[in-house]
Amino acid sequence: MKRSLTERLNQEGAICAEGFLFEMERRGYLTAGEFVPEVALEYPEALKNLHKDFQHAGSDIVEAFTYNGHREKMRVIGKEDLLEPLNRAALKIAKEVANDVPEGTEPNLMAGNISNTNIWNPSDQNSQKEVRGMFEEMIGWAVDEGADMLVGETFYFAEEAYCALEVMKSSGLPCVLTIAPMGENIMRDGVTPLDTCKELEQLGADVVGLNCFRGPETMLPYIKDIRANVKCHVGALPIPYRTNEKQPTFFNLDDYDNCKCSAPHGRTFPTALDPLFTNRYEIRKFMQDCYDIDVKYLGVCCGANPMLIREVADVMGKKPPAMRFRENMSNHFMYGTNKRIPEHIKDYGDKA
Ligand SMILES: [Zn+2]
C-alpha cells in the first residue's frame, strides 16, 4: 500500500529532503561551483547512502538527484553524452531507495526533478524552445523510470516555471512547482512571487511554493502570503542559513565581522557559509509556523542534513527510525538532570 502525494498532504503532510548538491560536496563526491550531479554515475553508493540517511530521518519523498543534470549544464562541462545515462542512473537509485523502506512502513514516493536551466531568456523565443526541449527529455526519462510524482523547482523566471509545469502536467503525474525569487524579491521577469504561484495553481500545479536561496526569516513572509491566496497545497523548503531583510538570499550573505579567513572567491556563497548556519531549533520553528497554517509539503534545500529533516518529521508527528536518537540532555555528564550526576560536576557547568 502506498498513498499518493495528495493523500499524504491531505493527512499528516509530506517531507521532501533536498540539498543534494551541498551535501554530496561536503561528503567529497561533487565539485562546488560547478555543481553537476555526476555522483549518480561515479559513486552511486554514495548517493544511495544520502537518500537512505534522509529516509531514516523521515523524508517521504525520494527526489531523484538530477538537479543541474540538464543538457545545458552537461554542455558546460563538455559531457553532453552522459546526459541520459546520468538521468536514468539518478532515477533508478531514487526508485530503489523509495521501495526499500524500513519493515512495516509505507514505501516512499519517487520524484522526477527538473529545475532552473539558466539559459531562459524572456526576449528570446529560441532559448525558450531549447529550455522546453530540455524539460521534455528529462520528464520523459522520469516517467520511463517510474516516477510517482514530479518536482519542478528553483525557478527565478515566472515564465520558465510555467513552461516547466506545462511539460510536467503532460505526464499526468502529480506536480510540485516551487520558485526561488532572488534578492530583489521579485521574479526576474517582473512578476511577484505571489502572482507566479497563483498562476501556477491556475495551470494545474498540485503544490506551489518556494524552495532554496532563502533562509527561514526571508522565506516565511512569502509562504504566509501564498497560503492565504491559493487553494492548492503549499510547499516550503528553505535553506538552513541566516538570511535577513538586507540580504534576503544566500548569494550575497556577509560573514560575521570577525571572520579573518574569508573565501578566496570573495563571498561566503557557496563554500564559506558554514558560520551562517541556522540551528535545528530555527528550522523547527519555521516548520512549525508553516504547519500551523496548513503548509504541509515541507523540506530543507541546499545545506540540509538528516538532523534537520528529523526536526521536520517531528513537527509532523512522524516517527522515523532516527527519532530514537533525538537529543536527551537529561543524561549529559554536566548539564543533565539524572540523579547519578554528581552535584560538583553540575555546579561547574557555567564555568566550563
Ligand atoms: Zn537549494
Name the helix (H) or strand (E) containing 141: helix 125-144
Cα–Cα distances in Å, from 7 out to 31, 49, 74, 174? 38, 28, 36, 11
**What's the gap in Å between 218 CA and the centre of ligand 1?**
15
**What's the gap in Å between 240 CA and the centre of ligand 1?**
10
**What's the gap in Å between 1 CA and the centre of ligand 1?**
31
Bridge partner list, 235: 209, 297
Pull the grid cell for residue 324: 530514537
Beta strands in the chain (DSSP E): 14-15, 61-63, 109-115, 149-155, 175-179, 207-211, 233-237, 297-298
**What's the gap in Å between 336 CA and the centre of ligand 1?**
37
**What's the gap in Å between 208 CA and the centre of ligand 1?**
16
**What's the gap in Å between 337 CA and the centre of ligand 1?**
39
Residues of the chain with pLDDT under 50: none
**What's the gap in Å between 302 CA and the centre of ligand 1?**
4
Bridge partner list, 161: none
Task: Give the per-residue pLDDT at 166.
Answer: 98
SS3 state of residue 219: helix
Do the beta carbons of residue 147 and residue 110 sit within 8 Å? yes
Pull the grid cell for residue 218: 526571508
**What's the gap in Å between 237 CA and the centre of ligand 1?**
8
**What's the gap in Å between 211 CA and the centre of ligand 1?**
7
**What's the gap in Å between 333 CA and the centre of ligand 1?**
38
**What's the gap in Å between 212 CA and the centre of ligand 1?**
4
**What's the gap in Å between 303 CA and the centre of ligand 1?**
7
CA atoms within 13 A of residue 204's CA, in its CB half-sphere: 14
**What's the gap in Å between 231 CA and the centre of ligand 1?**
25
**What's the gap in Å between 204 CA and the centre of ligand 1?**
24
Look up residue 45 and give its amino acid.
E
Report d(CA 190, CA 158) in Å as an integer.
8
Task: Give the per-residue pLDDT at 263.
Answer: 86
Task: Give the per-residue pLDDT at 258.
Answer: 66
Do the beta carbons of residue 150 and residue 139 sit within 8 Å? yes
SS3 state of residue 280: helix
Distance of alpha carbon 266 from the chain centroid: 26
Helix-strand-coil split of the chain, %, nearest 5: 45, 10, 45
**What's the gap in Å between 283 CA and the centre of ligand 1?**
15
**What's the gap in Å between 304 CA and the centre of ligand 1?**
9
Cell 537509485, residue? Answer: 93
Beta strands in 55-100 (DSSP E): 61-63
Question: Measuring CA to CA, which residue among 235, 226, 256 is closest to residue 301?
Answer: 235
Task: Give the per-residue pLDDT at 274.
Answer: 93
**What's the gap in Å between 347 CA and the centre of ligand 1?**
43
Task: Give the per-residue pLDDT at 221.
Answer: 98
Report d(CA 348, CA 341) in Å as an integer.
12
**What's the gap in Å between 19 CA and the centre of ligand 1?**
5
**What's the gap in Å between 17 CA and the centre of ligand 1?**
10
**What's the gap in Å between 259 CA and the centre of ligand 1?**
25
**What's the gap in Å between 290 CA and the centre of ligand 1?**
18
**What's the gap in Å between 222 CA and the centre of ligand 1?**
17
Report d(CA 154, CA 73) in Å as an integer.
15
Task: Give the per-residue pLDDT at 103.
Answer: 86
Task: Give the per-residue pLDDT at 123.
Answer: 96
**What's the gap in Å between 207 CA and the centre of ligand 1?**
17
